[in-house]
Structure 1
Amino acid sequence: MLDKDFEQLEKKFKPMIFHVMKRLNIYQNKQEFYQIGCIALWEAALRFDKNKGKFSSFAYSYIAGRMKTELTKQGLQKNNHDLVKEIVDYEEAYLEDFSVLYSRSIIENLSPLLTNNQLKWLKGYCLYGKAPNEIAKEESTSIAAVKAWRRDALKKLRSKQIKEIIK
């Protein structure tokens, strides 16, 4: 089939391609599906046997079949992508929970060295990532007081061999 012949064929069957797209509720990637329809039309023209019926019926079923195949393929890819994302999210949550548990056990080992207020700062900062102003608001105290807890806690922890305490 010559390019010129196909251009005429495309003009003639363009409404059919759009009809199939509408019938299959294709509302995204319209240009991509139009191209799939054109390729299917080309292949239908190459494979058509005059003895087996009308070309328009053959072309319609060929175009619809190719578009349905592509829709199925894209649906499977989306499902696989969603499944992988769900697994990754689960693993991240698990690792985050594990790190929190690990951090809690370390903090429990450090607790005899610190005062209650210093321990409040350490837990708030290390376990929950809170800033001094957030801790101060929760404990109904000033930001300066929380910063003092932090300063004194760090001084105590630096003076001790933390590596020995953690073991």
Structure 2
Amino acid sequence: MDKKLTFEEIFQQNERRIHYQIHKMNIRDPHHDFFQEGLVALWNAFETYQPDKGPMATYFNYIIRNRLIDRMRHDTRQHEIHQQTVHEQHTQYTDGNYHRGTEGARPIAANHQLQLADSNLWKNLQSQLTDKQWKWVYYAIIQEMSYKTIAEQENTTVDAVKNWGRQVKKKLKDPHFRHMLSLDDKDI
């Protein structure tokens, strides 16, 4: 008599097989997500097994292992996407084009302490900066353009534009440089 096994019987006989594959691949599974994935794989393998193709145990191992690998790849991709999103949000928040305080963020150009109409100040500042540093001041401060837009316009990277800004900020913090530009009484 050829008795067909139920899935419950297959599960009882092969539950350790799932744990073995998880352990073999050094997967940490505190929430049993991978075990559940292995269980679904065991079910699929049970449903699709063809006895004339080879031993059942080999087939189960193959299906479970590959399903766990697929899950790890999926989780890794999701983690990378999340990390990229966090990085982009952090970059956008810290790109230097805004003053941040308890009242929220406001564009640098909205800082009323810096007189945008003082053309002598801007000409004097421009004469003391490199071309790239001046481009950062002009585009990021005066025109209020984003770093990404500046980078596209200047055919460079966002990191390069940020570096221009860091150089300018460093100069503006230097007391000697501020005195030379008559900025001692201005808060930039």
So what's the TM-score if we normalise by structure 1? Answer: 0.57
2:154 match: none
2:87 match: 86
1:122 match: none
Structure 1 residues 71-82: aligned runs within 5 Å? 71-82=72-83
Give the secondary structure class of the aligned counterpart of 1:107. coil
Structure 1 residues 1-167: aligned runs within 5 Å? 5-94=6-95, 95-96=97-98, 99=106, 101-102=108-109, 104=111, 106-109=112-115
- For 1:34 and 1:7, locate their aligned partners in 2 and report how far apart those are by CA, in whole Å: 16
- For 1:21 and 1:96, locate their aligned partners in 2 and report how far apart those are by CA, in whole Å: 48
Deviation at 1:29, TM superposition (A): 4.4
- For 1:28 and 1:34, locate their aligned partners in 2 and report how far apart those are by CA, in whole Å: 7
- For 1:91 and 1:44, locate their aligned partners in 2 and report how far apart those are by CA, in whole Å: 47
Number of aligned positions between the proteins: 105
Post-superposition CA distance 1:43-77 (Å, at most 9, x none): 11111111111000000000011111011001000
Deviation at 1:28, TM superposition (A): 3.1
Tell me which structure has the larger Cα radius of gyration: 1
So what's the TM-score if we normalise by structure 2? Answer: 0.51
- For 2:51 and 2:29, locate their aligned partners in 1 and report how far apart those are by CA, in whole Å: 35
4+ residue segments displaced more than 2 Å = 95-104
Give the secondary structure class of the aligned counterpart of 2:28. coil
Give the secondary structure class of the aligned counterpart of 1:108. coil
> How many percent identity over aligned positions?
17
Q: CA RMSD in A?
A: 2.0
Larger strand proportion, structure 1 or 2? 2
